Structures are given as C-alpha cells and as structure tokens.
Structure 1
C-alpha cells in the first residue's frame, strides 16, 4: 500500500482521499497535454490518485478543439481531464519552476509527454527531480526510446501510426489510398502502457524503497501492437511468407451487409461453424467442404470463407439473422453509430455512460472507468477543471504567501480563472 507522507503532504487533498479507490494516497504531478498523457492520468485519477495538472498560461491544446460550450473547454479536454486539479505554471520562469520542484518533492509520480531533451532544458529531468525526491517515479511518455537514432525526433499520433505500418495495413485491407485510423490510436495505446508502467513502478518502489525513471515510447508501443498480429512470415529466419495476418486483411472482414442493414458476426471456432451450418440447414457442409472443416483450412481459404458468408448474409434481414445466431450461440453484435453507442442498453445498465453537471459547462455525458472493483471502488471523478482553477489553492498548500502568489501572477508565471 502507498502510505501518504505526513511530513511532505504526499497523498493528496481531502476530496481525493474521500473518493477512495485502489490508488488513493498516490499523488501524481501531471505535466502532460493533448491526448496520450492526459488519457493516462485520467485513468489514474479515476482509480483514486490525486492528479495535479500543470498547464502553460495558454492551457492544454485540447482545451481549444471544439465542439465546446465555452472557450477553453473543448470536448476531448473535458473527458481526458476529469478528477484533476489545474495549476498554471510558466515553467520557463525560475519561480514557476521552483513551484514545480516543490510539487515534485511532495509527489509519488511525475509524468511528462514532451521530449526528454525539453524536460532537461527546463531543469525537470529525472536527475534534477531525484535530487529533491529520491522516491519519485519519473515517467517520460515520448515518441521514441532514448537509445536509438530517433530519440530526439518529435512525434504525434499520425506520425507514429504511419511509422508503425497502419496506413500500409489499411491499403492491404482495401483502402483506395493509405490512411490513418480515425482515432488517436497511438496516443491511447501508449497511454495504456503508461498506466501499467506507473502502477508497476509504484509496486516496485514499495519493495525497493526508491524511485526510478521510466520511458514509455510511442513508436515501440505501436510496433508491438502492430507486429504482434502482422509479423507473420517475417517471424522466421529465413522468412516463411509475407507479413500480415490474412484473416484481418481479407476485404470481407467487415460488418456483413444484410437484406436491410449490417451486422457484425464472427463464426470462429469449430463449434461455431457446426452450429451455423446446422442453423441454416446445411449441417453436412462442415465435413463435406474441406475449406470449412478445420481452423487451419479456414485460415488458408479465408477470402473464400468470408466471401461465402458475405453472400449468404444478404439473404435475410438483420433481425432474422440476430434471432438465428442468438439461438445458435454464435457471436454477433450490431453495427453502432456514436448515437446508438451512447444509448446502448448494456452501457446504461453498467453505468458506463454517466451524467454530470459541470459548474461552467452544464450537463455532460461522461465516460466511466471500464474496470470494476469488489472492494476498492472509487467515487465519480470531479469535472474537468477550468484553466488555473486551483492555482492559488495549490500554491497555498506549498506554503506560498498571498504576496508571493500575487507576484507570480504579475509575472505571468501563473494564472487563475477570471
């Protein structure tokens, strides 16, 4: 268990402590912006950690991407920053940097997602932070591992998707031109790696008593993600075929067109195929048609297999197929739009899509934590903060006087909502 340090104040504010959760008592100094880092730290906040979000005077870039009700409160920002407190610090100013180091001294984890070289220029690299807190977990979410030739290169989601092969895969799948996945996929995959890196490092610190630096690179995270499926024949030396998992790349792997719509269906193992053929009145086909009779044969003939299913699915309505497939216990799901997803009855039943009234933005839909906990569940995170909403509060907690805070405001080293 992470025990709050009574001498330094580590463990967070009273509201965070009251929320509970498996990470209650952990304080995270969040120097991240845009999607990757904030996505990770929001998950950590949802698990009970106290997260202090340090922003530049201009604020996180995602504050300014609409739709939004008011300037500086964009939709992605609102979802990725619940449960956090916002402190404005211009880290290029010595007094603002001093405040950041004071926070680092009182924190369990520092997370950044700027290049490590920029953190060193700011005087907030691991060596500088370790000098004030030997127990700190210093996590650098960056584009590339720091021992390779790309170490200092800038990185964004689009660039990492391209470098890790996703546009090539989309072309192999049948896209007219190479294209990116319409998600901040590299950011969010790397964000999940960041979450387990933080929790694992905290566990290790409980045994060793000291902190460490952890690097979470986007390129390597996505290379693992892509090659885990698509290394294929390149797995072997010498090679044994081309790259690409054929089942995922066949043009027929898509929601099946029915007589009146679409349906997502996966007839996967031998049990499913026997049940499917029986349900459509062709029970003998499993044994008589070698293309379907084993998993290996189906994989070898995947285009034909999926093409045959695609043609068959057009012969009945979506509702008719759903009834047949449900009775045969064959996996299927509707093809939802975002409109349908937010009203999904299962998500409603488990409370994943919530409602929260933001003090300035009004009623909002909120996204829950996908995990559930039998004993250490966490209360709902607070709404995403306005820029600098907690600047004065946090500086006072650090022992700054009213005069010192006013001086930092005057120098534009910090800011508060007007």
Structure 2
C-alpha cells in the first residue's frame, strides 16, 4: 500500500495520477471483500483520483510507452525492487535521461547503500525488524503485528512529503532528481524517536525504551461495565482528578502520585493504581466526571463505532462516491482542511486498464501506434463489456 497511498495523497492534492499496472493488476485488487473481480475493498480505499493503464513492461513497446509518458511527467513513483527496475532499464538514470526535470521516487524495503539492499520487504517484515511486535510482546507477553498496514502507510506519508519537497526544489532550480524512501530506515526513525532513551547518550546512560509507553497498564481502562480511554497528564489535570475522587488532601495519597517527578519515575505504579481506581465506576460516570474536570478522555471505539462516529460525520471525513461497476462506495476522504486549495475526491478508483488508450492519445500516440501496442501485448485494454 505504500506506493498507492503516497500517490493517493498526491491525487487528493490535485495531481493527475496515472497508475501503470501489470496485466495481473495491483495485487490489492484481489483482496476481499469485493463485489466484482479485481475490485477489492483495500484497492478501492487506496486508489481514488487515479487513471489506470496496463502496460507489459517486459515488452519493448510497453517500456517505450512508459518512457514516453515519463517524458512529460513531473513525478515517477514506483515500489518495485531496484534490481527489477534496472533489469527493465527503468532505473532513475534511464528516466532522468529522458526527462531531466523528473522527480524519480523509489519506495522499497532497504537503502541501496546497506547490506540489506535488494531484499524483499513487506509491512509485516518491516514491523518485525523495527521492534514493534517485540515492544508489544514486552507488554502482552506475545509479539504481535499492528492490525494496520502501519509501515506501508507511514512510508507512504514520508514519500508524499519528500516528493513535494523535491518538486519545490525543481521549481526553483529546474533540476529533477532521484529520491529513495526505504521502509526499514523510515520505520526505524519512527520507532527510535520514542525509544532511544538511555542509548541517546554516548556512552549509554541506560537501556532503550520509553518507560511510559511500555508500562503494562497503559491501555484502555476497564470500568465497572466497559472500557474508557483517559490520560491524566499534567499537574492541573491530576489536581482535578484527585479532587473529583475525594483525594484532594496530599497526605491521603501515595507519595508516588504527588508530583510530576514522582509520577514520571514510577509509571508502572501510577498506571496500575489508576487502572484499579477506574474499575470502581461505570463508563458513563467516568465520562461525565472527566468532562466536568476537563480531563482528556475518549470512548473506546470498535471499527463499527469509529465508522459511525458523530464527529467524523459532522466534518465529512467519510464520503460517498458513485462507481460505475461497484455502486455507492464510502471512503475515508482527505482529513486536512485548506482555506484556498482543498483536497478533493474527483474520480472513482479505476477499473484495470480503464484509461489506457486515452492516456496514450494524450501522450501523442496515434490510433495505429496504440493498435500496434495491443497487437504486441504491450498494452492490455479491459474487455469491451467492462
């Protein structure tokens, strides 16, 4: 999802995104559930505002067509292993020779200067290599992956802003360039920003790991009839909480609760104590108390209640779009609000190869040239009845 997610963001910002697919199509097209073949839900959620062309890049005509598209493009994005792109003669040097103003963005597993260069990489593998399952295991006793394509989407976000920065440089200097956004290094930076801890210093003054995030009782809190999320964080909030539960007198409290220095030095005790207190009242009682005391809190959503959240409804995050084969689709739209150039959903996620001939005509191909590509098998059009 990292390449599709990055380019979806750029599409939301107004880019004309041409999605070049193999004859088999984006693998996420086949991820259930789906109403029709090659239109899986994950694909539909990550490919709006794009046009699709199917080119067999192993054929001479397919490669030539891609180079012709790249000649007038601003950005070329791929999430294929670099060795495969080199075999296809579609490396950065090949495309920049055709278009020196191009921003060539490579999204892959590992930086090309390190010993892991060229290895295959998927979200699960990168999560594992950047200690996320191990950190979960320290708390739960069993290492588990995040139930979201976290690495793919974080790398995709980084790719989107790296591409925009490269375009800013190009617009000032006229120079294109190649940029590499590796999954492992990007996610290592993400994790270690929290967890370098004592190894931030040379020599180390303690082990890695941010103790607050690793406290076993830092979790949604069980109440007498459910769960609630809350974070009593600063001194003002703690004072309000103690007042609300009848512990306003400092002498009545464990001294480990009485100052920010004591609390930050005893996270496991503080979270454990707080967990036990939370079990003494109902979810509704705690939500009301936190609201009155101005203490940060939130309901514990499941997926259905998240989708139906009234705030998301009010701000219009979930948008309905009409698709010619899939009917009405609900998608999570752009989250940011802009005063002058708001992102928008302008086009439904395309069928496989839906726009191939149109894209090639825009690039200057004649009808005869397009037919030659079809005959060669370099261009694959969708079936006539699709």
TM-score, L = length of structure 2: 0.97
Q: How does 1:214-363 map to 2 (within 5 A)?
A: 214-285=179-250, 289-363=254-328
State the distance in 2 between where 1:286 and 1:271 align: 18
Q: Does 1:108 align with 2:74?
A: yes
Contact 2:334–2:344, Cα closer than 8 Å, also in 1 = no
State the distance in 1 between where 2:318 and 2:23 align: 32
Q: 1:141 aligns with which of 84, 107, 113?
A: 107
Contact 1:45–1:84, Cα closer than 8 Å, also in 2 = yes
Q: How does 1:18-417 map to 2 (within 5 A)?
A: 35-175=1-141, 177-285=142-250, 289-417=254-382
Distance 1:335 1:286, change over 3 A: farther
Contact 1:110–1:138, Cα closer than 8 Å, also in 2 = yes
Deviations, residues 288-316 of structure 1 (Å, cap 9, x unaligned): 54312232321211111111111111111
Deviations, residues 144-179 of structure 1 (Å, cap 9, x unaligned): 11111111111111111111111211111223x222
The aligned counterpart of 1:29 is none
Residue 287 of structure 1: how far off its partner (Å): 9.0
Contact 1:287–1:293, Cα closer than 8 Å, also in 2 = no
Deviations, residues 372-413 of structure 1 (Å, cap 9, x unaligned): 100111332311000000001111112222222222223221
Q: Which moved more, 1:374-383 or 1:55-64?
A: 374-383
Instruction: Structure 2 unaligned segments of length 5 or more: list them.
Output: none
Q: Which moved more, 1:280-289 or 1:219-228?
A: 280-289
Instruction: Structure 1 unaligned segments of length 5 or more: list them.
Output: 1-34
SS in 1 for 2:351: coil
What is the root-mean-square deviation of aligned Cα atoms in Å? 1.3
State the distance in 1 between where 2:366 and 2:99 align: 23
SS in 1 for 2:328: strand
State the distance in 1 between where 2:251 and 2:22 align: 63
Residue 277 of structure 1: how far off its partner (Å): 0.6
Number of matched pairs:
383
Residue 121 of structure 1: how far off its partner (Å): 1.2
State the distance in 1 between where 2:307 and 2:103 align: 37
Residue 258 of structure 1: how far off its partner (Å): 0.7
State the distance in 2 between where 1:82 and 1:325 align: 40
State the distance in 1 between where 2:187 and 2:376 align: 41
State the distance in 1 between where 2:195 and 2:139 align: 12
Residue 286 of structure 1: how far off its partner (Å): 8.5
The aligned counterpart of 1:15 is none
